[in-house]
Amino acid sequence: MKKNILITLIRRILKALDGVKSFRDFIISIFVSFKSLQYLRFRSLYSIAINQTKFTGVDAMSIIIVIALLLGGTVIIQATRNFPKFGIEEFIGNLLVIIIARELGPLATAMIVVSRSGSAIAAEIATQKQQKEIHALELMGIDTTLYIVFPRILATVISIFSLIIIFDLVAFFGGYIISLSTVFIPLDIFFASLLDAFSINDFIITIIKSLLYGTLIPLICCYYGFKPNSDFEIPIYVSKAVVRTLLILFVINAIVSALFYF
């Protein structure tokens, strides 16, 4: 019994190590593929990046705005209910910055992008692979790693950066509107307290998180998109792509927060 558990554990560790090695090779192949950048037309990469940014960023705005409003409102409802008990109702701005701008905003945005665009990227690439479209591109002499992965990384970095800012602003606005129903805070005072609560570190961390998330989400999803060897494996790898990307996002978020705020 114990032997079986040990064997399973070792097998899993080896599998995970194998996966890490395979992912490392995939990243190296992307770097190597930059050599063939000169053979690609800028216009082709540009149009993919634009379409991907539209899908990942512009089209996700509506859902981001709704979620941000609800989340900002929820945080403020809790704050306005509980802060007066401690006599700290003037710290609503600080709470919004700490909860939304530092943690919830980037993480919620990344989760929406993973569940919406990450799964789409993995499914799209897997389908293209099964329909031999990738093979056809390779036959035409196009470096598929560069042609498929690079514009998606670029688009996701830009999209996540803009979406985080939109998410934060809408959450602040939603929070402010909700707070008006319970306690009147003049807009200029609210804005001033918000500005006071922000530090330059918060801006730097937002940029770092958007770079990290924007790079990791398409990278992991593309990696799993290239994996399926049959049509039946597509949903398995799409699911793996979403779950593992989410797991890595939480780990990265914890590491970045610990590095900057601990």
Partner 1 sequence: MKLEKNELRVAIFILIPAALLLVFVLLKLGYSIASSTIDIYLKVDNISSIKKGTQVKIKGYTVGRVVEIIPVYRPALHFLAVMRLQREIQLYENCTAVIQNQNIIGDPVIELRNPERIGIALQNGAVIEGIELVNLEVVLQDIHILLNTLSGTASVIRDISTESKGNLRNLLGNLSSTASTFSAMMSTSQHDIVETLKSFKKTAKTMDEISVELKKHPVKFLFK
Residue 54 binds partner 1, judged by CB under 8 A: yes
Q: Where are the alpha helices (DSSP H) in the chain?
A: 2-33, 42-53, 61-86, 92-96, 105-113, 119-130, 133-139, 144, 150-182, 187-197, 200-225, 233-261
Among 33, 109, 117, 162, the residue binding partner 1 under the rule CB under 8 A is 162
CA 34 to chain CA centroid, Å, is: 24
Among 8, 44, 51, 78, the residue binding partner 1 under the rule CB under 8 A is 51
Residue 183 binds partner 1, judged by CB under 8 A: no
Both tokens of 110, joined, read 């990344």
Residues 6+ apart with CB under 8 A from 101: 168, 198, 202, 206
Residue 214 binds partner 1, judged by CB under 8 A: no
Judged by CB under 8 A, the stretch of 24-32, 131-139, 158-166, 240-248 that binds partner 1 is 158-166
Q: Which of residues 71-130 bind partner 1 (CB under 8 A)?
A: 90
Contact 260, 247 (CB under 8 A): no
Q: Which is nearer to partner 1, 137 or 165 (CB)?
A: 165
Q: Measured between alpha carbons, how far apart are the two ends of the chain, in Å?
A: 43
Q: Which of residues 225-254 bind partner 1 (CB under 8 A)?
A: none
Residues 6+ apart with CB under 8 A from 253: 103, 106, 107, 209
Both tokens of 67, joined, read 């979620």
Q: Which of residues 4-33 bind partner 1 (CB under 8 A)?
A: none
Contact 201, 185 (CB under 8 A): no
Judged by CB under 8 A, the stretch of 29-37, 75-83, 115-123, 163-171 that binds partner 1 is 163-171
Among 64, 166, 171, 252, the residue binding partner 1 under the rule CB under 8 A is 166
Binding site for partner 1 (CB under 8 A): 47, 50-51, 53-54, 57-58, 61, 90, 158-159, 161-162, 165-166, 169, 188-189, 192-193, 195, 198-200, 203, 206
